[in-house]
Chains A and B, each alone.
Chain A
Amino acid sequence: MTIDRRKFIKTAGLASLAGLVGKNVLGQDVSDVIEPGSFDRLSGLQSPLQARRWAMAVDIGKCEKQHDCTKCIDACHLVHNVPKFDNPKDEIKWIWKEPFEHAFHEQENEFQKTDLIHSTPLLFCNHCDIPPCVSVCPTRATWKREDGIVMMDWHRCIGCRYCMAGCPYGSRSFNWRDPRPFIEDQQKDFPTRMRGVVEKCTFCDERLAVGLLPACVEACDVGALVFGDLEDPESNVRKLLNNNFSIRRKPGLGTQPEVYYIIS
């Protein structure tokens, strides 16, 4: 009961080293072995937001008009205690921006709507229908919930980073260093992470549970982020997708992202 993750990994590492060297003592082959302040959380819990298939639509045009706006990123990174590192190698990101040709690799044409080519779309965890990160996780620390959210159980993550190798979108970050000293404005409502675990966006499962929309959606005051249930024909996302042309990242991989980009 007193064993923590680091000790477990150290012991497991030593044990497998012993396994490599040969036989263990028994002679067996071991190689196969939320809102701060007044918000009443309890009553919020009585009216959670639920869906059969959560999805996000990003209106690239609307977003792009707000030149260099980072309200959604700031809100997300604040409520989730995401640290800010100067060294890009240590970077932790739940929402970020990238040039169009990186984000939509192989979907860019040499000549295309210029504002699109020069845009820097917002990127999230795609909460794929067929998430490669989930298939490779050896501890089931990440899995797909029935409502489509690709969840993280930070208690189970052993920091092997298979999921990062599996994710074709770069949506996962690894804590190389203790994040605590690099959190500017620590929020007590959400636990931080620790050195040696992977983290990413969870579509704000902790806010949905108390009836709040994801922090980024709430922070965007031009309505460029629309979140809702794709299985509900009356939902805003569904209507938006029915009436507009949209693309998704790296469709050829067959992961079926649940983050859609509206091209207007």
Chain B
Amino acid sequence: MYDAGKIIIGLVVFLALVSYPIWYDAARGDIPTSADPKIVTAEKECVAPTDYMKDSHMDLLNQWRDDVVRKGVRVYTAESGRKFEMSLSHTCMDCHSNKSEFCDECHNYAGVNPYCWDCHIEPEEVQQ
């Protein structure tokens, strides 16, 4: 193999450069490795099974929105038979009143920024 040394050095330099952002963050110690949403409510269950909520709460919210605004249906019956008003500001945020430690915690991690709060009013959070 010709110039094996140069090639290997070149590769090492290349890899170091390419992975620089990862090193840099690791050195500064602020890589978010997972999101840790905090549950503050005394309730035990969400409006749907936790796994479904993790994956598909945005679909559920879209469903609620269309049911309420377009179909005029405002009551949601959970699998447990419990009834909820289909409302973002009331229902979701009554239990998850810690928006910044719950919704935002995941969304910042995932890099999503739902625009719902341009109109829907965020719960007032107590500053610690």
Q: Which A residues lie at the B interface, using CB under 8 A?
A: 1-2, 4-5, 41-42, 45, 145, 151, 153-155, 186, 188-189, 191-194, 205, 209
Contacts and interface: CB of A to CB of B under 8 A. Distances in A.
Nearest to A205: B72
A151 B119 contact: no
A45 B69 contact: no
Nearest to A180: B118
Contact of A189 (B65, B89, B112): B89
A191 B9 CA distance: 60
Given A41-B85, A42-B85, A45-B85, A154 B75 contact: no
Contacts of A188: 89, 121, 123
Instruction: Give chain A's interface secondary structure class.
Output: loop
Contact of B70 (A42, A153, A194): A153
Most chain A CB within a 10 A radius of its CB, from B69, B89, B113: B69
Nearest to A2: B112
A145 B72 CA distance: 9
A155 B118 CA distance: 11
Interface string B99-119: 000000000000011010011
A194 B113 CA distance: 16
Most chain B CB within a 10 A radius of its CB, from A154, A186, A188: A188
B90 interface: yes
Given A41-B90, A45-B74, A205-B72, A154 B119 contact: yes
Contact of B119 (A1, A193, A205): A193
A186 B121 contact: yes
A45 B72 contact: no
A193 B117 CA distance: 10
B60 to A, nearest CB: 13
Given A151-B69, A155-B65, A209 B74 contact: yes
Interface of B: 58, 65, 69-70, 72, 74-75, 83-85, 87, 89-90, 112-113, 115, 118-121, 123
Contacts of B87: 41
Contact of A194 (B84, B90, B118, B123): B118
23 contacts: A2-B112, A4-B115, A5-B115, A41-B85, A42-B75, A42-B83, A42-B84, A45-B74, A45-B75, A45-B85, A151-B69, A151-B70, A154-B69, A154-B119, A155-B69, A186-B121, A188-B121, A189-B90, A191-B89, A192-B118, A192-B121, A194-B119, A209-B74
A154 B68 CA distance: 12
Nearest to A155: B65
A2 B113 CA distance: 7
Contacts of B69: 151, 153-155
A151 to B, nearest CB: 7
Nearest to A6: B115
Nearest to B71: A145
B87 to A, nearest CB: 8
Contacts of B83: 42
Contacts of A4: 115
